[in-house]
Structure 1
C-alpha cells in the first residue's frame, strides 16, 4: 500500500489530475483556447481563416489558434442576404494579414469576443457597421457611436440596408429554431 504520510490521498490525487490537465492544455500544439481572465487582453497575430462576417481564426506568434467573434455587432448568417458580402468585406480587410485584437470576454462557444484593429488603425467592428454589413448588437452593447454608424449606413442604403426589410440575424436564428 502506498503511504502518503501526512498528505490526504484525495488532495494528492486532485493535484496530480490538475497538473496533468495543465500539461495537456499548454502543449503548444495550436489548438488551445485562450483563457481570458476577462480583463482586457490584447493579442496580435495573422488571420488564417474567415468563418463568416463576424468570426475568424487568428494564429498568434506563439502558434496558438484562437477563434475570434467581433464584439458588439452581428453580421448576416450564412443563408441570409448579404452574408457573402459581409464575409468578403472581412476577407478583403484582414485575411492573411496581421491584426491586433482587444479581448473583452469569451462566449459560450469559447470564442474570444473582441474589437479588431487592422491596417492603419481601422477598427473592423466599426467598418462593418459603416459599410452596412452588420447590425449594432444592442443586446450586448449600448455604445451610441456604434448605433450612429449603423444609422448612417441605413440612411445611405449601404450594404444590407439596400434591402427594404432586412431581418436581423438574432431574429433569423430564432425563427430557425422554431
Structure 2
C-alpha cells in the first residue's frame, strides 16, 4: 500500500484507533502502526484515549498507510502538528507498548525502554499486562 493521505480526525475509539474523514468525504477506520495501547478496563486505557484525543481529535493529520488489518482498518503511521509521530508520543508518555511482534522500529523500542526505566505512565504499575496478553486471557 504505502499511500499518504491527509484528513480530519472525527472520532477517537481508543488510544490506538480512530476515525478519519478524507477530503473526498471517505470515512476510514485507522489503527496506529507499531504500538498497542491498553485495552478498555486495563489501567491507563482512559489516559491513552485522552492523550490521543488531545493530540489529534478534530485536527488534520497526515497518514502513511502501511496495510489493512483483518478487521478492515488501515494501519498507518500518523503525523500531527507538522512533525509529531503519534506512535512515538504514546510510547514516550508511557501509554503504549512497542508492538514488537509487528515492528522492528529501534526508535520505538528505545522510547519504551526509557519510559519503563523512568516509570512513566503505565510503567508505574507494579505489574503490567501487555494488551495482546490481556485479549488472549479474555478469550479463554
TM over 0.5: yes
Q: Note the alpha carbon deviations across 1:20-47, whole angstroms, 9 max, x for none.
A: xxxxxxxxxxxxxxxxxx2x10010100
Unaligned runs of 5+ in 1: 1-37
Unaligned runs of 5+ in 2: none
Partner of 1:56: 18
Aligned pair 1:154/2:113, yes or no?
Answer: no
Secondary structure at the counterpart of residue 115 of structure 1: strand
Q: Note the alpha carbon deviations across 1:131-171, whole angstroms, 9 max, x for none.
A: 10000001101111110010111111111111011100000
Q: Which protein is richer in strand relative to its size?
A: 2
TM-score (norm 1): 0.78
Q: Which has the higher contact order (CA 8 A, sep 6+)?
A: 2
Instruction: Name which one, 1 or 2, has greater alpha-carbon Rg.
Output: 1
Q: Note the alpha carbon deviations across 1:81-139, whole angstroms, 9 max, x for none.
A: 10000000000000000000000000000000000000031000110011100000011
Secondary structure at the counterpart of residue 96 of structure 1: coil
Partner of 2:75: 113
How many residues of Structure 1 are paired with residues of Structure 2 in the alignment?
140
4+ runs of 1 displaced by more than 2 Å?
A: none
One of 133, 142, 146 as aligned partner of 2:104: 142
